[in-house]
Amino acid sequence: MKMFEKFKNLAESLKKTKLELSGKINSIFGSGKIESGDIDKIEEALILSDISYQTASEIIEGVKKRVLKIKDLTPYIIKQALKEEVSSKISIEFPEIKAGGEKNIFIIVGVNGVGKTTTVGKLGKYYADRGKKVIIAACDTFRAAGKEQIELWGRRTGIEVVSGKENQDPASVAHDAVQRFKEKDYNLLLIDTAGRLHNKKHLMEELSKIKRVISKSSGNEPDEVLIVIDAGLGQNSLVQVEQFKAIMDITGVIITKLDGSAKGGIIIDIIRKLNLPVRFIGTGESPDKISEFSPEIFTDNLL
């Protein structure tokens, strides 16, 4: 399969960011001539696509180093230098996601309203389509209709869901799910946790309890702890990730609603500032609207 076809959803989800950023950059070079200060104007365009001021400044300084000694400078040369500089910020060699074993457990976390439960359902289908036997634990026991939502996803995708009673201790649901996961021939257990405000200490402590119970019940630490963030929240998402990292060992990020936002630049800061891999991009509501993240496809389609 060609790379573009494999990451087609990712490419399509970046259209809004690409139009916004490319439009601003093209307007800077509208005359086709390079004026003094044109490169500095690109920094504003980067910030408006939700790249932080610090990272945008670093990118522009890198572009200057690449091009200012070139005699016949053109907009194309500057754009290529910009592309190379962005690529250098996100082309970090992270370990592959730990989904290749006979038994793997992922915990999915995030604040309210980011599309976490929908992401769990889509992630389950993604791995089921690739030959994994998946089971989901519905540990969102306090939100109205939380249990029903993930059970609906289970029916839509043909994936078994372990759920408890309303207001049941989420850690006990996680324990029951781990026991079933161990006893049967499942390959992947997805733990859907309740959305929680990152600044509410008792909710975050409850999350830590779920992780401890899973570790004790399974005999191993969870393979991945993935945080779901909303692209539309931009730089505020970085604060959420940092707060969750203070409680749990976050291993990767899943970004939702990228197709409806022009703030795709947040991806650069997640990788560059937080040193975390972006694992998946949610690109719509239907079960197959999820894509692996590719730095190459991202850079090509951002600029």
- The average confidence (pLDDT) of the chain is 88
Rounded to an integer, the average pLDDT of 15-32 is 81
Is the pLDDT score of 1 beyond 50?
no
Which tokens go with 44? 């504003």
Predicted confidence at residue 31, as pLDDT, reads 64
- Cβ neighbours, 10 Å, residue 248: 17
**CB under 8 Å to 45, separation ≥6 — which residues?**
21, 24, 25, 28
Predicted confidence at residue 66, as pLDDT, reads 92
User: pLDDT tens-digit profile of 227-263?
Assistant: 999 988 888 889 899 989 988 899 999 999 887 776 7
Are 135 and 177 in contact by the 8 Å Cβ rule? The answer is: yes
Which tokens go with 251? 């291993």
Percent of the chain past pLDDT 70, that is, above it, reads 95
User: pLDDT tens-digit profile of 153-211?
Assistant: 899 899 999 998 877 899 999 999 999 999 999 999 999 998 766 556 777 788 889 99
Is the pLDDT score of 107 beyond 80?
yes
What is the Rg, in whole angstroms, of the alpha carbon atoms belonging to the chain? Answer: 21
Predicted confidence at residue 197, as pLDDT, reads 64
Is the pLDDT score of 32 beyond 80?
no
Predicted confidence at residue 198, as pLDDT, reads 53
Alpha helices in 53-134 (DSSP H): 53-67, 75-90, 116-128
Is the pLDDT score of 42 beyond 80?
yes
Q: Could you give the CA distance from residue 145 to residue 168 in angstroms, rounded to a whole number? A: 14
Q: Could you give the CA distance from residue 263 to residue 174 in angstroms, rounded to a whole number? A: 35
Percent of the chain past pLDDT 90, that is, above it, reads 50
Are 86 and 302 in contact by the 8 Å Cβ rule? The answer is: yes
Are 203 and 196 in contact by the 8 Å Cβ rule? The answer is: yes
